[in-house]
Amino acid sequence: MPYGRILPKLLKGEANRGIPGEVALADALYDSGTNRQIIRQDPALLMQEVIPEDHRAVQAEHFHYDDKTNTLTCPEGKVAIGPSPHAGGQFFYFSQKDCRHCPSQSTCPSFSQREHRARLLLSLDRKMRLSSPLPKPLQKALFRFRTTVERIYGKAKHWHGFSRARYRGRSRVAVQAFLTFLVLNAKKALRIKEGQCPLKPPGLAALGYG
């Protein structure tokens, strides 16, 4: 199984251990429509996800997708005629009448000169991304917060000898990991107690999260 597909399994494992969550933060390795759908809709999770896309060729970023009515609206407020099934998802076509005199035609990445209208392929991943209820500023703030959380792994490698296994065998390495992060967590708990480490980052507090 590709590594990126185990994210829902890991989240369910955390929930079964009594560690529920509201938002799943992950890097682009876990980007897939299936992952997003399971994280939001599985009764054991019912979370939101903040995962950057694994590809950069994005055409639909400024379009609005309504998952309840399965409709796509362009930045100019025009609604697509309707979707057509496709192997990679659904093709949404816009009216030539709407697109012919559109002021954004020259900058529209989805406009087809051959068909004289915009058309867009929406995969499951793209649909889930466009229908996310989390505002984009909040998604960006949460993802920036993820980098501060992961900084502790760099400290473990550079300052606590975790860049290499000290002993042979998985059980011995597990003990090394447990003791290393026990020390790191104790140090962080002390900084929190002394007010040197805010529990809620200012960027998220300003957006009203938490």
In this structure, of 122-126, 135-139, 185-189, 199-203, the range with the lowest mean pLDDT score is: 199-203
The boundaries of the domain holding residue 169 are: 135-210
Q: What average pLDDT is seen over the chain?
A: 85
pLDDT per residue as tens digits for the range 26-72:
888 888 888 999 999 999 999 999 988 765 445 667 788 888 899 99
Please say whether the beta carbons of 110 and 119 come within 8 A: yes
Two tokens, residue 145: 């917060």
In a domain, 153, yes or no: yes
- Output the pLDDT for position 2: 58
In a domain, 59, yes or no: no
- What's the structural domain count of the chain? 3
pTM above 0.85, yes or no: no
In this structure, of 41-45, 173-177, 198-202, the range with the lowest mean pLDDT score is: 198-202
Distance set, CA 3 to CA 7, 9, 10, 35, 85 (Å) = 8, 11, 11, 12, 29
Same domain, 206 and 152: yes
Same domain, 117 and 147: no
pLDDT per residue as tens digits for the range 89-146:
899 999 999 998 899 998 888 898 889 999 888 888 888 888 888 888 888 888 887 7
Q: What's phi and psi for 127, nearest 5 deg?
A: -60, -45
Reply yes or no on whether the pLDDT at 23 is more than 80.
yes
Same domain, 76 and 124: yes
Same domain, 139 and 125: no
